[in-house]
Amino acid sequence: MDLEKVRELRARTNAGIVDCKNALKESEGDIDKAVDLLRTKGLALAAKKIGRIAKEGIVDAYIHPGDRLGVLVEVNCETDFVARNQEFKRFVRDIALQIAASEPISVNREELPSEVIEREKEIYSSMVKDLKKPPEMLEKIVDGKLEKFYSDVCLLEQPFVKIPEKTVGEYIKEQITKFGENIVIRRFTRYRLGE
């Protein structure tokens, strides 16, 4: 087994040495295929961990330069060992930066108040009512606009500001794999001076 390839794969994925060796063996030494294998296995492991209880964690405060915008966010994990980890703290800071930059109103769509969703549906319905299309097509257009609304206002569905091709939810799943524990964004508050 080529030790350099193992080191490179480990640097690219943060996976353990044994996992890197096995992935390289399975991919017949192809590093790109090995990365894909590790990512696939990691996301499957993350899905298993999502149901576990996360009662430890930290609350982070971020004040944007200029002191006109601030964020408080609570992110939970399973153990205080991970909560004290500097990488976990950097991850939580990234989430606080995301909230400051993207102005979400809820963590996920399930937490959105039903009156907000109904109001949006009414707005979109009135926007498309004059289009000369069948009712089922109008309904699909409204549903599409509602999905876009969710990706704008629900934190987990927003594009992650540091890696826009990933959603915040996908980024969190990667962190679950990395830390080996379930991670939950419990709640946040965003303050803007004068609001």
Q: Encode the chain (195 residues) as per-residue pLDDT tens digits.
A: 577 777 777 776 666 677 778 878 888 888 788 877 766 666 445 455 555 566 789 999 999 999 999 999 999 998 889 899 999 999 999 999 999 999 999 999 999 888 988 898 888 888 777 777 777 887 888 888 889 999 999 999 999 999 999 999 999 988 988 888 889 999 999 999 887
- The number of folded domains in the chain is 3
E strand intervals along the chain? 56-63, 69-77, 159-160, 163-167, 184-192
Are residue 37 and residue 98 in the same domain, yes or no? Answer: no
Q: Which domain holds residue 25?
A: 3-49
Are residue 101 and residue 159 in the same domain, yes or no? Answer: yes
Burial 108-127, CB ≥16 within 10 A → b, else e: ebeebeeeeeeebeeebeee
Are residue 162 and residue 83 in the same domain, yes or no? Answer: yes
Are residue 65 and residue 103 in the same domain, yes or no? Answer: yes
Are residue 103 and residue 120 in the same domain, yes or no? Answer: no
Are residue 99 and residue 158 in the same domain, yes or no? Answer: yes
Task: Please tell me the chain's helix, strand, coil percentages from 3-state DSSP, rounded to the nearest 5.
Answer: 60, 20, 25
- By the 8 A CB rule, do 172 and 186 touch? no
CATH code for the domain of 34: 1.10.8.10
Q: pTM score > 0.85 for this model?
A: no
